[in-house]
Amino acid sequence: MLSYYSPGQCDAKSLSQNRCGEMVATSVIVVNYNGIALLADCLNSLAAQTYRDFEVIFVDNGSSDGSVAQAVALMPDVRIVALNENLGFAGGNNAGIRRAQGSNIVLLNNDTLVDPHFLEELVRGVDCGRRVGMVAPKILNYYDRTRIDSVGGLVLCRDGLGQGRGRGERDEGQYDGLGEVLVPSGCAALFRRELLDECGLFDERFFAYCEDMDLGLRACWAGWVAVSAPEAVVYHKYSGSSGAYSPLKMFLVERNHFFVALKNFTCFMLLALPLWSVYRYLLMAYVVATGKGKGKAGAKWELASALVRAHFAAIAACPSVLRSKSGLRRIAPGQFAKLLRRHRLSLRQMILSD
């Protein structure tokens, strides 16, 4: 029996039971916006999982391409959350989480294909310890499956920008021995329900990009731990939904990384933030001039305009962002800073990589 939900509707009984009247352990949330061409790989690979104690919640952000009908055709038992407008990655996932019944919440991009043991290995990871609240799978490039998108989640630069660990490198198992990591990528991740109840959901001001880093760092401050599960393998069509290096992506990333810093950095880190930002912009000017790394992106003037607009938007939002800073702090600032140092990515490495 297919279940539909619209914004504002929530039946307590329907949220506590699956279609057979039984609880499920894991809820998989797939957010979609006009991604009909991406759905077969994603949903068919979920249907082939060895782990069976899960539900799939398909959140549609007001698509006009027939995505909902396609999702139902591919997976008749999927639970549909049909939104009237595009709430982005943050708002879409929040809508799904609010309707999910599982004690484990798995987020999965619609532009992915997962290995049959994906869910089994993620759930095994979260069972490693009571304060393990996040699990990061191995995410590989869909088109070249020897190349890493991220293994062991995200690593963080000094100015609040994050990137997948090992992005672009050939996967030779060099990160498979990781234990504790910083935060998982929102592309594919498991969060314990208890963590989300305690730390809150995604900040919907982000709309898309960097919201995974914000939620993960809030969880770190609250004493939760993230671990790597390299046997849980995902193949990702990178930027399949938004387009690589588009002006919209530039605007959102540049604005949102300041939100991450304002909400999660210590006072000392924030004092150094302008210097690290200037350094990054010098590196960006270099790669644009030489066409190296991320400087190979097109539409340079449009990207530059998006960057400027992002700064004005971040400045305008500063008061409200600072007011929303979480007061839940179970670890000392020094311990938090040490955690970031262990999982740091240099700005030079980020900008010069593709």
Let me know: does 190 contact 108? Beta carbons within 8 Å: no
Q: How far apart are CA 139 and CA 332, in angstroms?
A: 31
Whether residue 339 is found in the same domain as residue 203: no
Instruction: Please tell me the pTM assigned to this model.
Output: 0.90
Give pLDDT tens digits for 282-311. 998 888 887 766 655 656 788 889 999 999
Q: Which of 215, 236, 257 is the last residue of a domain?
A: 236
Whether residue 205 is found in the same domain as residue 269: no
Give pLDDT tens digits for 104-140. 999 999 999 999 999 999 999 998 878 999 999 999 9
Is the per-residue pLDDT at 153 higher than 80? yes
Whether residue 118 is found in the same domain as residue 165: yes
Is the per-residue pLDDT at 14 higher than 50? no
Whether residue 174 is found in the same domain as residue 27: yes
Whether 337 is in a domain gets the answer yes
Whether residue 83 is found in the same domain as residue 217: yes
Let me know: does 229 contact 137? Beta carbons within 8 Å: yes
Whether 106 is in a domain gets the answer yes
Whether residue 262 is found in the same domain as residue 216: no
Whether 242 is in a domain gets the answer no
Whether residue 275 is found in the same domain as residue 348: yes
Whether residue 7 is found in the same domain as residue 132: yes
Whether residue 196 is found in the same domain as residue 263: no
Which CATH number is 147's domain given? 3.90.550.60
Whether 26 is in a domain gets the answer yes
Give pLDDT tens digits for 51-101. 999 999 999 999 999 999 999 999 999 999 999 999 999 999 999 999 999
Whether 241 is in a domain gets the answer no
Q: How far apart are CA 302 and CA 297, in angstroms?
A: 11
Note down the domain range covering 141: 3-236
Whether 110 is in a domain gets the answer yes
Is the per-residue pLDDT at 234 higher than 90? yes
Q: Which of 189, 217, 236 is the last residue of a domain?
A: 236
Whether residue 191 is found in the same domain as residue 85: yes
Whether residue 177 is found in the same domain as residue 295: no
Residue 10, by phi and psi: left (phi above 0), alpha (psi -120 to 50) or beta?
beta
Whether 119 is in a domain gets the answer yes
Total domains in the chain come to 2
Whether 217 is in a domain gets the answer yes
Q: How far apart are CA 175 and CA 160, in angstroms?
A: 22
Q: Which of 195, 216, 236 is the last residue of a domain?
A: 236
Let me know: does 106 contact 190? Beta carbons within 8 Å: yes
Whether residue 87 is found in the same domain as residue 25: yes
